[in-house]
Amino acid sequence: MVTFSFIQYGENLGTRPLGQRVRESLLPLIEQNDLVVLDFTGVNVVSNSFADECIAKLLLHMTLAELKSRTTFKGLNPVASECVLTALRRRHLATA
């Protein structure tokens, strides 16, 4: 198990370019480890754009079931959690 800390990218995660950069760092970790803790502790804002680009676009590389089995979330506040869940739902429906 390895932890990926989002706070290293800032307290407010809002743009698609940042989401892409973070995803490009995150994807190899997920591919190389059995479980990755996605730690949002200290992050205040996760925009819909960032959530789609960083988290939901992982579904272009793996199934939702695989993503669920290889990652777990920690430290997401309720608003950020809703943004991530919405992005995953939309992307999953688009790729299904």
Domain count for the chain: 1
Query: Does the pLDDT at position 94 exceed 90?
Result: no
What global pTM score does this model have? 0.93
Average of per-residue pLDDT across 1-23: 97
Containing structural domain, residue 91: 2-95
Q: What's the confidence (pLDDT) of residue 60?
A: 94
CB 91 within 8 A of CB 57: yes
Q: Which residues of 23-60 are buried (b: 16+ CB within 10 A; e: fewer)?
A: beebbeebeeeeebebbbeebeebbebbbbbbbbbbbe
Two tokens at 35? 């479980």
- How are strands ordered across the β-sheet holding 36-39? 2-5, 36-39, 71-74
Query: Does the pLDDT at position 96 exceed 80?
Result: no
**What is the per-residue pLDDT across 43-75, written as a single tens digit (0 to 9) for each?**
999 999 999 999 999 999 999 999 999 999 999
